Amino acid sequence: MSKQFKGISTLAQQGVMMPQESVLEVGKLRQNLYIGIPKETSFQENRIPLVPESVAVLVNNGHQILVETGAGKNANFTDSDYSEAGAKIAYSTKEVYQSDLIIKVAPPSLEELDYFKDKQSLMSILQIGMQQEGFLQRLSTKKITALAYEYLRDETDVYPVIQAMSEIVGSTSILIASELLSNTAGGKGELLGGVPGIPPTEVVILGAGTVGEYAARAALGLGANVKVFDNSIYKLRRLQRNLGSRVYTSTLNPANLLKALKTCDVAIGAILGKEGRSPVVVTEEMVSEMRFGSVIIDVSIDQGGCFETSEVTNHSNPTFRKYGVIHYCVPNIASRVARTASYALSNIFTQILLNMGEEGGMDPLLWQDHHVRCAAYLYRGTVTNKYVADICRMPFRDLNLLMATRI
């Protein structure tokens, strides 16, 4: 090898041995969020997604919160509570919708969609099966990115909003039944539970999910006899394990179910359909054989109900009688205890919003957190949930692919 090439080789080796500049990781671009909380306009929706304590936490982290006047009234939060927590009070709906992120409980009405501006973000319940025609198309036209609470998952792959509301509804259903059995509500004048020397109340629960479990827990705590029916052996076994006591369980065998209904004082319907309507497991004939003055609480009424005699009622006129049986068929039972339900929702959303700010906004959060990504049904106007797309007959695009091409 010539001296010239040897010299070049030596220089190259020396270059490799010399210290090199290191590439530092670029830090996350933290973003201060501008969040709007409009007043709920949906019928008898009393909850609010963020309570004043959560607003204070978000404001202390640099985020701006704009709350429409009266938004927390039905949950017994005043405008002063929110202003003292650091929120700004808006006195017009249009002003609230100037925020970058709109967070509410019920899905926006068609009238509220007019207030949205292009490329905003929305967090709310979706209830796609109950939406009016054109709802999704109008959100899509405005290039909205939207998350549905019912699709949101946590680190254990559980649906936290559904879980929290189901726990509240299960416990509340027993308290409602207790009131309806009393003289003041026109009931039989019985105490839900039992005292020494008097046979305990008989409670039948249809469905061994979260609602059924918490209803059973509340009824057992009052001293009632509880019977739980479900076709899932896994759910029945899990319920017994979680309750820590042996309760009567059975599959939805019509003969066993009728026998239990004939002697029960309270029947709780908590069977939800996987998609669409809840299955009707109690026929009108079965209801006609129940005791006079007994109580039916049909929690699944928002999916059609699992009692054939169920008809939708509301919080103002919650009950009716058929065959002498008191029926309570109010959708959205959680709004009956709006303050507790609001705290439960706020506990979930506060951490999500804090993470959103730390990650740099909605897009980076969707990119980093696949649990939140599961809740996205619209991304910049494109439908990203297959089930929603099929119902609305709109084109579907995989969110993972859309996010991968955003860079």
Over residues 111-120, the pLDDT tens digits come to: 999 999 999 9
Task: Return the H-helix or E-strand segment holding 288.
Answer: helix 284-288
Supply the pLDDT for residue 9.
53
Cα–Cα separations (whole angstroms), residue 286 to 260, 296, 326: 10, 12, 14
Q: How far apart are CA 261 and CA 399, in angstroms?
A: 47
Average of per-residue pLDDT values in the chain:
89
Q: How far apart are CA 80 and CA 96, in angstroms?
A: 17
pLDDT tens-digit readout, 210-231: 999 999 999 999 999 999 999 9
% the chain with pLDDT above 90: 68
Supply the pLDDT for residue 244.
84
How does DSSP classify residue 128? G
Q: Taking residues 143-158, what's their average pLDDT? A: 91
Higher pLDDT pick, 137 / 5: 137
Q: Angle of helix 338-359 relative to helix 160-180, nearest 10 degrees?
A: 170
Q: How far apart are CA 203 and CA 124, in angstroms?
A: 34
Q: Taking residues 51-80, what's their average pLDDT? A: 96
**CB of 221 closer than 8 Å to CB of 200:** no
Q: Taking residues 267-279, what's their average pLDDT? A: 82
**pLDDT confidence bin for 187, thresholds 50/70/90:** confident
Task: Return the H-helix or E-strand segment holding 215.
Answer: helix 210-222
Supply the pLDDT for residue 89.
96
The model's pTM is 0.86
pLDDT higher than 60, residue 56:
yes
**CB of 374 closer than 8 Å to CB of 43:** no
**CB of 267 closer than 8 Å to CB of 206:** yes
Q: How far apart are CA 203 and CA 177, in angstroms?
A: 10
Q: How many angstroms separate the first and last alpha carbons of the chain? A: 49
Q: How far apart are CA 332 and CA 260, in angstroms?
A: 27
| Residues of each domain in the chain carrying CATH 3.40.50.720 | 34-151+337-404, 166-331
pLDDT higher than 60, residue 407:
no
Supply the pLDDT for residue 18.
55
Supply the pLDDT for residue 106.
93
The structure tokens 């005699």 sit at 309
Q: Taking residues 100-119, what's their average pLDDT? A: 93
Supply the pLDDT for residue 133.
79
Q: Taking residues 194-199, what's their average pLDDT? A: 86
**Which phi and psi angles does 12 have, rounded to 5°?**
-65, -45
pLDDT higher than 50, residue 5:
no
**pLDDT confidence bin for 129, thresholds 50/70/90:** confident
Statement: 166-331 belongs to CATH 3.40.50.720: yes
pLDDT higher than 60, residue 365:
yes
Q: Taking residues 297-316, what's their average pLDDT? A: 91
The token pair that represents 282 in the structure block:
């109690």
Q: Kindly report the number of other CB atoms within 10 A of residue 312's CB atom.
A: 12
**pLDDT confidence bin for 108, thresholds 50/70/90:** very high
% the chain with pLDDT above 70: 91
**CB of 306 closer than 8 Å to CB of 278:** yes
Task: Report domain 34-151+337-404's class.
Answer: alpha beta
**Which phi and psi angles does 380 have, rounded to 5°?**
50, 40
How does DSSP classify residue 275? S
Higher pLDDT pick, 134 / 67: 67
Q: How far apart are CA 286 and CA 306, in angstroms?
A: 12
The token pair that represents 151 in the structure block:
């699709």
Higher pLDDT pick, 5 / 127: 127
Q: How is 223-265 classified by DSSP, letter by letter? A: T-EEEEE-S-HHHHHHHHHHHTS--EEE---HHHHHHHHHH-S
Q: How far apart are CA 312 and CA 329, in angstroms?
A: 5
Q: Which of 136, 129, 117 is nearest to 36 (CA)?
A: 117
Task: Return the H-helix or E-strand segment holding 139.
Answer: helix 135-141
Q: How far apart are CA 132 and CA 290, in angstroms?
A: 38
pLDDT higher than 80, residue 12:
no
Q: Taking residues 145-172, what's their average pLDDT? A: 92
* Exposed/middle/buried for residue 307 (C-beta within 10 Å: 0-12, 13-18, 19+): buried
pLDDT higher than 70, residue 356:
yes
